A and B are shown apart, each in its own frame.
Chain A
Amino acid sequence: MKPLTGFNLVRPRTLQGALTLMATLEKTQPIAGGTDLIPLYREVQCEKTNLIDLSLINELNGITESLNCIVIGSTTTHTQILSNNLVAKHVSALHDSCSVLGSVQIRNRGTIGGNICNASPAADTAPPLLVHNAEVNISNQNNNRWIPLEELFKGPKLTVLQPDELLLKIKIPIDSDSASAFKRLGRRKGFTLSIVNAAAFVKREEGLIQNIRLSIGSVAPTPLRIKKVEEEFLGIEMSKRVLDEIGQACSDQVKPIDDIRGTAEYRRDMSNILIKRALNEAWRRTGGIIE
């Protein structure tokens, strides 16, 4: 392991201050909980990086409701999300994912912004946010823009964020007639990285699938939305057979690779199983039963 050296830490107290630092300093890297970055810097020595610590900026932390949306500040920890009633009620897939992500210690420090911006294909909060059509607010000193979360991810550990930009908040539309769920598979039962994870969002009208959104993680360079399958099954009557078809169709859409956590073949097969389990759970949460 490498000694932790070679970086500078700056701790702005205001967002404006942070954005100014991002614009003016060389080689900046935002940090909040540090749960991904510090282990990384122990493996790959960081050269002359300016770490911009966002944890003192109040306006980046917390969960609010506004205009029928839930807005989560980027430095909101997984523990904060887990204990939030709005999230539990309206974004249950995200609640699910925050309850299994990392350990208590990691959840107490790790932030949702960090989990997303780290852009791991296996990030546990990504599939839930994707199926809830989350948007992210990105800003530099001069411009502020909203983009769909889906457009943030460019590849493993890569986002569209420019060197002077920060991710400020995440907006999740409230859709009260819907339900969602998250499932994942790890190499042990507690505190582990996901081999595959999946989230499903669904709206039910009697037995019909009125709306459906599906997402699977760790099966492609970025967390995936499986829109082709969503479109295919819109308006279809839900049944055990349809659930199986959806699972199968999803596993045809993923492009996993082999790595030390699992093979592509296993990930493909598990995409099928996990998306079915997530969808089944979401459907159950709408009050529906799949027969």
Chain B
Amino acid sequence: MIFELNGKNVSFEAIPSLTLLDLLRNEFGLTSVKKGCDQGECGACTVLLDGMPVNSCLILSPQVEGKRVTTIDGLSENPLMIELRDAFMENGAVQCGFCTPGMLLSSYSLLRDNRNPTEEEVKMAIEGNICRCTGYVKIIEAVLDAAVRIGPD
């Protein structure tokens, strides 16, 4: 079975009981994808599936066949992600870091589609990403700041 992982085609043995989360962590060593609840409730395992944020703990690995999976590792050189990352770091949006990869991916997806989001739209984009450290204040500020940095186009 083949799918695209961070821009490269990869193959794996299809095991239905293996979730995408466990596949990425255990078979591909992508430990940036975090397991916080395994129930689709916390968002720490967020990855982009064909560009859209999903909970990788709710996806059975054969379901990604032929699809495009992106983790934070695949966007380290992405200009938008670099701006977003810098905004997170400079605005103090990172504390324990466990929600951070998922939070960045959800925020990235928002800014990719909407260069000028309102505060409400930012909250909507990250409502599925629970953070217990920051109270979200600086995360929201960071996403809005990143939007300013990247400008309208």
A residues adjacent to B (C-beta < 8 A): 1, 3-9, 11, 31, 33-35, 38-39, 42, 51, 53, 55, 79, 102-106, 108-109, 190-191
Interface-side segment among B3-11, B25-33, B53-61: B53-61
CB pair B17–A5 under 8 Å, yes or no, is yes
Can you name the residue of chain A whose Cβ is closest to the Cβ of B125? A104
B40 within 8 A of A: yes
Asked if B74 is at the interface (CB within 8 A of a chain A CB), the reply is no
Known: A4-B19, A38-B40, A39-B40. A9 touches B60 (CB 8 A): yes
Interface residues of B in 105-148 (CB under 8 A from A): 106, 109, 123-125, 127-129
**Bound state CA distance, A108 and B52, in angstroms?**
7
A104, B19: Cβ atoms closer than 8 Å: no
A33 to B49, CA, bound (A): 12
Q: Tell whether B39 is near chain A: CB-to-CB under 8 Å.
A: yes
CB pair B63–A55 under 8 Å, yes or no, is: yes
State how many angstroms separate the Cβ of A49 from the closest Cβ of chain B.
10
- Contact sample, A vs B, 8 pairs, CB 8 Å cutoff: A3-B17, A31-B60, A38-B40, A38-B57, A38-B59, A39-B39, A53-B60, A108-B49
Query: A9–B62 contact, CB under 8 A?
Result: yes
Contact residues of B: prevailing secondary structure:
mixed
B86 at the interface (CB under 8 A from A): no
Q: Are A105 and B43 in contact (CB under 8 A)?
A: yes
Known: A4-B19, A104-B128, A105-B128. A34 touches B59 (CB 8 A): yes
Interface size for B (C-beta < 8 A) is 30
Choice from A7, A42, A55 contacting B16 with Cβ under 8 Å = A7
A-side contacts of B127, CB under 8 Å: 103-104, 190-191
Extra 11 A-B pairs, beta carbons < 8 Å, given A9-B60, A103-B127, A104-B125: A3-B17, A9-B62, A11-B63, A33-B58, A34-B63, A38-B59, A38-B60, A42-B39, A102-B128, A104-B53, A105-B43
Cα A231 to Cα B139 with chains together (Å): 50
> What residues of chain A lie closer than 8 Å to B125, measured between beta carbons?
104
Interface pair B58/A39, CB less than 8 Å apart: yes
Q: Are B53 and A108 in contact (CB under 8 A)?
A: yes
Closest to B56 in A: A105
